[in-house]
């Protein structure tokens, strides 16, 4: 190899801090395409929408309706979350290799349960909601279950991963000393598992609030319904009344969970793989005990009645026309869904560090960016998509921008949290040596975070694939829009096929993103 | 990987208390408002508990304010004339209304022709109670934003001017806002993929369609004649910004559909009494006049079920009925 080619090869290898910025390159083609897509017909409306943020409607009727809706949304989120945690913990223990190996000597059942749990996880909560709506009718328990089912499967996976990653020396010691399997497992692994589970559990509550809002957008109760109706009838001032309330609740919840996480010494979301020792055990138990009567109260207030679960109604009579289902344009449907996923993921993963860098010198810019991110997290993607349609033509890119914005809000906040927790010394040294604020941030702090951030981004891409179904409203010719159409036509055969394709795609995506994540974290 | 600081600084206790208080307030919120929840939440209670309550509903084709003004009035009138408690249950989605009817969660629903046929196919024996005088020959109006340069067209073939334009329907399951317009567009050789962006929009309701076309977000759209007329006469629509470009031929539309088991639940002859209550609403009675006015009708008339055979045929052609 000549010196020249060796040099060029080395130049091509990116420095780690630049890695997270790589996906942001997707903005180049996007910016090129945007002018062709925009029709500008509704800039007035966008202006009105933004202006209305400063003068939300204070009409008592609007406020009380928004408040009631918010109550329903928060209640649904709380119940779905609590149920999913309990079921998830059980599922997690049942799908842990360590547990089965200790109890029976073989890890095979764990593998089987793991595979089984992948199916409920692969179906988005919105789909669960719309399917359960057919079986159970319009009642609050539908939204609660729609959150519980996929979340429980997700929690189970995280719990079993955490369990299997714990060192087993203590467990083996106890077993050799003659302790039976159950008590040995509980003593050796229980306390070590607790911080990770509680930290992740708190994070799931934030997710549950977002999911409950989204379910409302599709008519399953709560504030989301008001948000969609007011947006679609262009009553922006009424819309913002609800939106500000929701934003307040979300920020309070996030702050509360952060405080508790720090107080109890739980790991941050990013560092879930890192060990930490929990503190404040008594408070944790007390909190859990306080939660119980609260949940019962919420269930009663919402009118959630477990007995109604018994009243399953069969699906409407349907005739299967499988040849017609097979004749759907599957390659283009799947292709555009995958394109949508990759585009949205690249936009979200790439933009967060890029924006942080750009805003590094200006504290007010950072504050504004954080506010916009908070809105992005909160504002359900289908509503962003509807808003974008005021000025852009429908299509994959419009849908990707909507999904990307939402996930940018989530990723950005996690990146910010991790950035704030990362040690300052390197950045301060660089700044002292005369590097600008952006370079100091880039090389001083991002370099340490780069790989774990990208690994998390890979996981997020997998979530985005599931989420593509919610922007079907935009009419981007993907699986999502066909699915919504099939639902309103009661085309059960198409519905089954579409859900099956979604499940297969998500499982493949999950596998791919797992591999990518392992490679990123191993390097 | 960045090592995390092992022990984050302990927070001052006041901060924690504040956070705890805020969290508690947040969590208690849903529990704090049961009475409002009962009326405002769209959720329906199980059928068993509601033996003697007539639950009425309607597809959400217009602004919720309009529906919330109209249906409680109607519920009162029905309750007075039938002697049973009547409750209006709002639903948020056309499809959800059909599903709730199939499950028996709703007793009497104001459906569009398409959703009505869907509901009758899913609930054999359901009874068509009545339609308005305007429903036997209902029309959709294609509308356009004046800035789009789209001019009124002389005949159906002229719909091809909409190719390449940004176009929005109402709800996916709307008869006048989607099904029949799509059928007439198809006859004129306009497919859904011919619109700008390769797909039409679905605004969800007729009011929303008018607002979106008037704003310029969509260049053209299609709405039902009744909502168009009322929006025009209330001054909400600016005739300088949005115009009618074509009126479709008439077709059968909205009707009241009742559960097959009302006689068992409310007593013999209940369905017939229900029907005659609607047919006997008269503009000479001030209360009834208000209801008829909000429905945009002079009176209700009988609706023979075969009126919807052609709608079912179109529904099957377009794939909304299977």
Q: What is the pLDDT of residues B41-74, one digit of tens each?
A: 344 444 444 568 999 999 988 777 778 888 999 9
Tell me the H-state helices in A96-180.
97-104, 108-122, 125-136, 140-165, 169-176
Nearest to B215 among A45, A451, A481 (CB): A45
Contact yes or no for B91 and A138 at CB 8 A: yes
Contact yes or no for A133 and B23 at CB 8 A: no
Q: Which residue of B has its CA nearest to A320?
A: B322
Contact yes or no for B202 and A473 at CB 8 A: yes
Per CB-CB distance under 8 Å, the chain A contacts of B199 are 394-395, 475-477, 481
pLDDT of residue B308: 93
Closest CA to B104 of B239, B229, B264, B216: B264
Contact yes or no for B37 and A294 at CB 8 A: no
Name which of A45-49, B92-96, B136-140 the model is least confident about: B92-96
Whether the predicted pLDDT of A157 surpasses 50: yes
Q: A276-298: buried (b, 16+ CB within 10 Å) or exposed (e) per residue?
A: bebbeeeebeeeeeeeeebbebb
Contact yes or no for B7 and A300 at CB 8 A: no
Q: Report percent pLDDT > 70 for chain B.
A: 84
Contact yes or no for B16 and A255 at CB 8 A: no
What are the backbone angles phi and psi of residue B218, rounded to the nearest 5°? -120, 145
Do residues A41 and A390 make contact, with C-beta atoms less than 8 angstroms apart?
yes
Sign of the dihedral defined by the CA atoms of residues A93, A95, A98, A104, in that order: positive
Given strand B167-169, what is the order of strands in its sheet? B201-202, B167-169, B220-224, B140-145, B242-247
Contact yes or no for B4 and A421 at CB 8 A: yes
Quote the Cα angle for B263-B268-B269, to 5°: 85
Mean pLDDT of A300-329: 77
Whether the predicted pLDDT of A273 surpasses 60: no
pLDDT of residue A269: 56
Count Cβ atoms below 10 Å from residue A59 Cβ, excluding itself: 12
Domains and CATH numbers, chain B: 51-136+253-318 (3.40.190.10), 140-247 (3.40.190.10)
Mean pLDDT of A470-491: 79
Cα–Cα distance, B142 to B243 (Å, whole number): 9
pLDDT of residue A1: 43
Contact yes or no for A68 and B118 at CB 8 A: no
Cβ neighbours of residue B95 under 8 Å, at least 6 residues apart?
A487, A488, A490, B172, B173
- Residue of B67, B118, B217 for testing the chain A interface, max A β-carbons within 10 Å: B217
Element (H, E) at A230: helix A223-232
Cα–Cα distance, B19 to B8 (Å, whole number): 17
User: pLDDT-based confidence at B11, cuts 50/70/90?
Assistant: very low
pLDDT of residue B22: 56
Whether the predicted pLDDT of B4 surpasses 50: no
Contact yes or no for B3 and A423 at CB 8 A: yes
Mean pLDDT of A472-486: 76
Cβ neighbours of residue B83 under 8 Å, at least 6 residues apart?
none
Count Cβ atoms below 10 Å from residue A43 Cβ, excluding itself: 15
Per CB-CB distance under 8 Å, the chain A contacts of B33 are 67-68, 71, 301
Let me know if the fold of A15-55+323-523 is the same as that of A58-306.
yes
Closest CA to A209 of A156, A263, A245, A161: A245
Whether the predicted pLDDT of B244 surpasses 70: yes
Whether the predicted pLDDT of A345 surpasses 60: yes
Cα–Cα distance, A261 to A243 (Å, whole number): 27
pLDDT of residue B29: 55
pLDDT of residue A232: 79
Do residues A91 and A117 make contact, with C-beta atoms less than 8 angstroms apart?
yes
What are the backbone angles phi and psi of residue A495, rounded to the nearest 5°? -60, -45
Question: What is the average pLDDT value for chain B, to the nearest integer?
Answer: 84
Contact yes or no for A452 and B2 at CB 8 A: yes
Closest CA to B177 of B225, B219, B217: B225
Closest CA to B97 of B266, B211, B222, B257: B257
Helix axes A330-359, A27-37, angle to 10 degrees: 110
3-state secondary structure of B221: strand
Closest CA to B15 of A263, A414, A495: A263
Whether the predicted pLDDT of A357 surpasses 60: yes
Q: Which residue of B has its CA nearest to A487?
A: B95
User: pLDDT-based confidence at A443, cuts 50/70/90?
Assistant: confident
Per CB-CB distance under 8 Å, the chain A contacts of B44 are 137-139
3-state secondary structure of A506: helix
DSSP B225-242: HHHHHHHHHTT-S-TTTE
Whether the predicted pLDDT of B270 surpasses 50: yes
DSSP B53-101: -EEEEE---S-HHHHHHHHHHHHHHHHHHH-S-EEE---S-HHHHHHHH
Q: Which residue of B has its CA nearest to A273?
A: B1
pLDDT of residue A270: 57
Q: Which residue of B has its CA nearest to A40?
A: B217
Contact yes or no for B16 and A263 at CB 8 A: yes
Count Cβ atoms below 10 Å from residue A460 Cβ, excluding itself: 21
Name which of A32-41, A261-270, B151-160, B209-218 the model is least confident about: A261-270
Helix axes A223-232, A181-217, angle to 10 degrees: 30
Q: B98-135: buried (b, 16+ CB within 10 Å) or exposed (e) per residue?
A: bbbbbbbbbbbbbbbbbbbbbbbbbbeebbbbbbbebb
Whether the predicted pLDDT of B250 surpasses 70: yes
Helix axes A281-302, B13-28, angle to 10 degrees: 20
Per CB-CB distance under 8 Å, the chain B contacts of A218 are 93
pLDDT in tens, A98-142: 888 777 878 788 888 888 888 888 888 988 888 888 888 777 888
Nearest to A137 among B44, B92, B203 (CB): B44
pLDDT of residue A405: 93
> Based on C-alpha coordinates, what's the Rg of chain A?
24
Nearest-CA distance from B21 to chain A in Å?
Answer: 9
- Residue of A138, A209, A383, A422 for testing the chain B interface, max B β-carbons within 10 Å: A138
Q: What CATH number has the domain spanning A15-55+323-523?
A: 1.10.3720.10
Q: Report percent pLDDT > 90 for chain A.
A: 12
Cα–Cα distance, A134 to A473 (Å, whole number): 20
Do residues A372 and A432 make contact, with C-beta atoms less than 8 angstroms apart?
no
Cβ neighbours of residue B178 under 8 Å, at least 6 residues apart?
B169, B170, B171, B172, B202, B222
Contact yes or no for A452 and B22 at CB 8 A: no
Whether the predicted pLDDT of B27 surpasses 60: no
Contact yes or no for B2 and A489 at CB 8 A: no
Contact yes or no for B322 and A313 at CB 8 A: no
Per CB-CB distance under 8 Å, the chain A contacts of B165 are none
pLDDT of residue A440: 74
Contact yes or no for A138 and B30 at CB 8 A: no
Cα A258 to Cα A45, A133, A291, B177: the distances in Å are 37, 35, 18, 48
- Hey, where are the domains in chain A? 15-55+323-523, 58-306
pLDDT of residue A506: 85
Cβ neighbours of residue B31 under 8 Å, at least 6 residues apart?
A75, A294, A297, A298, A300, A301
Nearest-CA distance from A42 to chain B in Å?
Answer: 4
Nearest-CA distance from A447 to chain B in Å?
Answer: 9
Whether the predicted pLDDT of A176 surpasses 70: yes
Nearest to B36 among A68, A221, A445 (CB): A68
Cβ neighbours of residue B250 under 8 Å, at least 6 residues apart?
B136, B137, B138, B139
Closest CA to B34 of A145, A227, A125, A303: A303
Cβ neighbours of residue B302 under 8 Å, at least 6 residues apart?
B130, B131, B275, B279
Cα–Cα distance, A470 to B268 (Å, whole number): 47
Size of interface A-B (CB pairs under 8 A): 230
User: pLDDT-based confidence at B37, cuts 50/70/90?
Assistant: very low
Count Cβ atoms below 10 Å from residue A26 Cβ, excluding itself: 20
Name which of A278-292, B157-171, B192-206 the model is least confident about: A278-292
Contact yes or no for A475 and B30 at CB 8 A: no
pLDDT of residue B17: 56
Q: Which CATH superfamily is domain A58-306 in?
A: MetI-like (1.10.3720.10)
Nearest to A249 among B26, B31, B93 (CB): B26
Mean pLDDT of A31-49: 83
The percent of chain A in helix, strand and coil, each rounded to the nearest 5, is 80, 0, 20
Element (H, E) at B301: strand B300-301
């Amino acid at each position: 190899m000549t010196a020249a080619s060796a040099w060029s090869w080395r130049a091509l290898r990116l420095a780690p801090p630049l890695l997270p910025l790589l996906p942001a390159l997707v903005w180049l083609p996007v910016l090129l395409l945007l002018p062709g897509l925009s029709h500008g017909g509704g800039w007035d409306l966008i202006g009105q929408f933004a202006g209305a943020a400063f003068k939300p409607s204070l009409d008592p009727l609007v406020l009380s309706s928004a408040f009631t809706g918010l109550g329903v949304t928060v209640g649904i989120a709380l119940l779905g979350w609590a149920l999913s945690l309990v079921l998830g913990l059980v599922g997690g223990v049942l799908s842990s290799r360590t547990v089965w190996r200790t109890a029976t000597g073989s890890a095979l059942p764990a593998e089987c349960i793991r595979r089984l749990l992948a199916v409920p996880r692969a179906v988005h909560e919105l789909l669960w909601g719309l399917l359960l709506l057919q079986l159970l009718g319009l009642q609050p328990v539908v939204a609660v279950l729609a959150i519980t089912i996929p979340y429980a499967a997700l929690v189970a996976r995280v719990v079993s991963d955490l369990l299997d990653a714990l060192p087993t020396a203590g467990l083996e010691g106890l077993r050799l000393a003659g302790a039976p399997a159950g008590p040995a497992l509980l003593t050796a692994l229980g306390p070590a598992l607790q911080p990770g589970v509680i930290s992740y559990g708190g994070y799931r509550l934030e997710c549950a609030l977002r999911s409950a809002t989204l379910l409302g957008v599709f008519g399953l109760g709560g504030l989301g319904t008001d948000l969609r109706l007011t947006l679609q009838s262009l009553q922006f001032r009424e819309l913002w009344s609800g939106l500000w309330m929701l934003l307040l609740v979300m920020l309070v919840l996030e702050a509360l969970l952060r405080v508790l996480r720090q107080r109890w010494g739980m790991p941050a979301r990013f560092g879930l793989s890192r060990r930490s020792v929990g503190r404040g055990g008594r408070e944790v138990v007390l909190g859990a005990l306080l939660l119980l009567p609260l949940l019962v109260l919420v269930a009663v207030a919402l009118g959630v009645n477990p007995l109604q679960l018994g009243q399953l109604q069969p699906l409407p009579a349907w005739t299967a026309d499988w040849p017609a289902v097979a004749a759907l344009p599957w390659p283009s449907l799947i292709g555009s869904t995958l394109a949508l996923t990759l585009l949205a993921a690249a936009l979200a993963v790439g933009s967060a560090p890029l924006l942080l860098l750009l805003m590094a010198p200006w504290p007010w810019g950072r504050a504004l960016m954080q506010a916009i991110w908070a809105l992005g997290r909160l504002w359900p993607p289908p509503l962003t998509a509807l808003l974008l349609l005021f000025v852009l033509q429908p299509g994959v890119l419009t849908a990707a921008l909507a999904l990307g914005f939402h996930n940018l809000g989530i990723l950005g906040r996690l990146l910010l949290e991790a950035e704030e927790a990362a040690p300052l010394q390197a950045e301060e040294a660089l700044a002292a040596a005369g590097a600008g604020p952006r370079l100091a941030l880039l090389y001083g702090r991002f370099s340490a975070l780069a790989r774990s951030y990208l690994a998390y981004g890979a996981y997020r891409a997998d979530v985005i694939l599931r989420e593509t179904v919610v922007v079907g409203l935009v009419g981007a010719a993907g699986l999502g829009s066909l699915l919504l159409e099939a639902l309103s036509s009661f085309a059960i055969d198409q519905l089954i096929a579409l859900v099956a394709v979604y499940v297969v795609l998500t499982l493949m995506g999950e596998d791919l993103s797992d591999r990518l994540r392992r490679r990123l974290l191993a390097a | 990987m960045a090592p995390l600081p092992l022990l984050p600084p302990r927070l001052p206790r006041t901060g924690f208390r504040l956070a705890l208080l805020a969290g508690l307030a947040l969590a208690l919120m849903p529990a704090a408002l049961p009475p409002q929840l009962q009326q405002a939440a769209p959720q329906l209670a199980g059928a068993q508990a509601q033996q003697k309550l007539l639950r009425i509903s309607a597809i959400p084709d217009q602004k919720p304010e309009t529906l919330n003004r109209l249906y409680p009035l109607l519920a009162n009138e029905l309750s007075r004339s039938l002697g049973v408690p009547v409750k209006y249950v709002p639903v948020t989605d056309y499809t959800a209304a059909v599903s709730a009817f199939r499950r028996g969660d709703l007793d009497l629903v104001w459906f569009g022709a398409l959703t009505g046929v869907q509901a009758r196919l899913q609930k054999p024996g359901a009874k068509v109670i009545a339609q308005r005088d305007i429903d036997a020959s209902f029309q959709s109006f294609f509308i356009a934003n004046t800035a789009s340069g789209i001019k009124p067209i002389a005949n159906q073939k002229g719909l091809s001017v909409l190719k390449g334009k940004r176009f929005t329907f109402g709800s996916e399951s709307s008869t006048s806002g989607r099904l029949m317009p799509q059928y007439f567009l198809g006859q004129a050789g306009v497919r859904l993929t011919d619109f700008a962006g390769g797909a039409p929009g679905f605004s969800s309701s007729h009011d929303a369609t008018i607002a979106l076309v008037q704003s310029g977000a969509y260049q053209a759209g299609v709405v039902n004649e009744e909502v168009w007329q009322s929006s025009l006469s209330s001054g909400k629509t600016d005739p300088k910004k949005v115009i009618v470009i074509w009126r479709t031929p008439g077709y059968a539309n909205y009707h009241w559909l009742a559960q097959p088991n009302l006689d068992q639940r409310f007593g013999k002859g209940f369905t017939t009494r229900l029907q005659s209550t609607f047919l006997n609403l008269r503009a000479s009675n001030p209360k009834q006049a208000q209801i008829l006015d909000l429905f945009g009708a002079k009176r209700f008339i009988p609706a023979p079920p075969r009126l919807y055979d052609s709608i079912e045929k179109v529904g099957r052609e377009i794939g909304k009925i299977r």
